[in-house]
Structure 1
Amino acid sequence: MSYAGTLALAPAEDLPLGDHLSSLMTREEAEQGVRYFCTKWAEERGDLDQPENPRCSDFFSWLEQKSPGHLKFRSSTSVRGDVERWFIDEFKQGWRH
Structure 2
Amino acid sequence: MTKEEAERVIRHLVHKWAKDSGINLATEQPSFSAFQSWLHDNAYSHYLSFRSANGAQYDAQAWFDQELRQTSRN
Q: Sort the TM-score into its range (normalised by shorter chain).
A: 0.7 to 0.9
CA distance in 2, matches of 1:31, 1:51: 26
Q: Name the TM-score, length of structure 1 as normaliser.
A: 0.68
The structure having more radius of gyration, on CA atoms, is 1
Contact 1:64–1:71 (Cα < 8 Å) also in 2: no
Q: Percent of aligned positions with the same letter in both sequences?
A: 38
- Show the 5 A alignment for 1:42-61: 42-47=18-23, 50=26, 52-61=28-37
Is 1:31 aligned with 2:12?
no
Moved over 3 A (4+): none
User: What TM-score does the superposition give when structure 2 sets the normalisation length?
Assistant: 0.88
How far off its partner does 1:47 sit?
Answer: 2.5
Output the aligned Cα RMSD: 1.5
Rounded to whole Å, the distance in 1 between the matches of 2:21 and 2:51 is 29
Report the CA distance shift for 1:31/1:54 in structure 2 as closer, same or farther (over 3 A). Answer: same
Q: What is the aligned length? A: 73
Structure 1 residues not aligned, in runs of 5+: 1-24
What letter is aligned with 1:72? S
Stretches of structure 2 lacking an aligned partner (at least 5 in a row): none
Richer in helix (by share): 2
- What is the rounded CA distance, in whole Å, between the counterparts of 2:27 and 2:51 in structure 1? 29
